[in-house]
Amino acid sequence: MSSKRLILPLLGAALLSACATKKQALPPTPPAEAAPPAASTAPPTTTTIPGDSPVGTTNVPGSVADFVAQAGSDKVLFDLDSYDLNDEARGILGKQAEWLARYPNIRVTVEGHADERGTREYNLALGDRRANAARNFLAAQGVAAGRMTVVSYGKERPAVEGSDDAAWAQNRRAVTVIAGAR
């Protein structure tokens, strides 16, 4: 750390001089209306405060962010009018189950959703099918049934706006929501 403190000002001076030489080739700059706060007015010690790199974040184990990061996603997508889990969905749910196995006290709600291109009541039933497909897969992977509740929102809560295939594909989904996270 101490060696860096010495090097940084030197490096800064070198950069400044490089800029200065370049500037001479440019047209004269108009007179500055107000001089920028000169470096000299600031106490010199401020430049040497350690740790001025950005404060990093990390996922707290057991958090929602940790769940999403570890499982790859909190949701799985479905084909049109289908509640079959494809390979990608099974992979995600498998990782969700692994994560849930590490935090046996955490409860989840599995939400089922449909795209807008269906009638309202059928889509409520379809959302229920999708939520149960995901729930049943999680249960088969060892997540206790008592930790999971299902709810269908039908077409009432799309993930994204839009009336095209791309939007509909995003909205046909089952989402595993950590209890208390919503």
Positions touching other proteins (CB under 8 A) are 83, 109, 116-122, 124-126, 128-129, 131-133, 136, 151-154, 156-163
Q: Which is nearer to other proteins, 68 or 151 (CB)?
A: 151
**How far lies 120's CA from each of 7, 80, 114, 152, in Å?**
67, 15, 10, 12
- Smallest gap from Cβ 9 to other proteins, in A, equals 51
Q: From the CB of 17, what's the least distance to other proteins, in Å?
A: 54
Cβ proximity to other proteins: between 65 and 151 the closer is 151
Closest approach of Cβ 79 to other proteins, in Å? 15
Q: Which is nearer to other proteins, 98 or 159 (CB)?
A: 159
Q: How many residues in total does the chain contain?
A: 182
Helix (H) or strand (E) holding 150: strand 148-154
For β-strands 108-113 and 75-77, DSSP reports them as: unpaired
How many other CB atoms are found less than 10 A from the CB of residue 78? 26
Q: Which residue has the tokens 């750390």?
A: 1
90/97 Cα distance (integer angstroms):
10
Query: At closest approach, how far in Å is the CB of 101 from other proteins?
Result: 23
C-alpha 142/C-alpha 148 separation (Å) is: 12
Measured CA to CA, the distance from residue 64 to residue 29 in angstroms comes to: 53
Would you say 140 and 128 are in contact if contact means Cβ atoms under 8 Å apart? no
Report, in Å, the least distance between residue 133 CB and other proteins. Answer: 7
Of 23 and 120, the one with the shorter C-beta distance to other proteins is 120
Decide whether 103 or 153 has the Cβ nearer to other proteins.
153
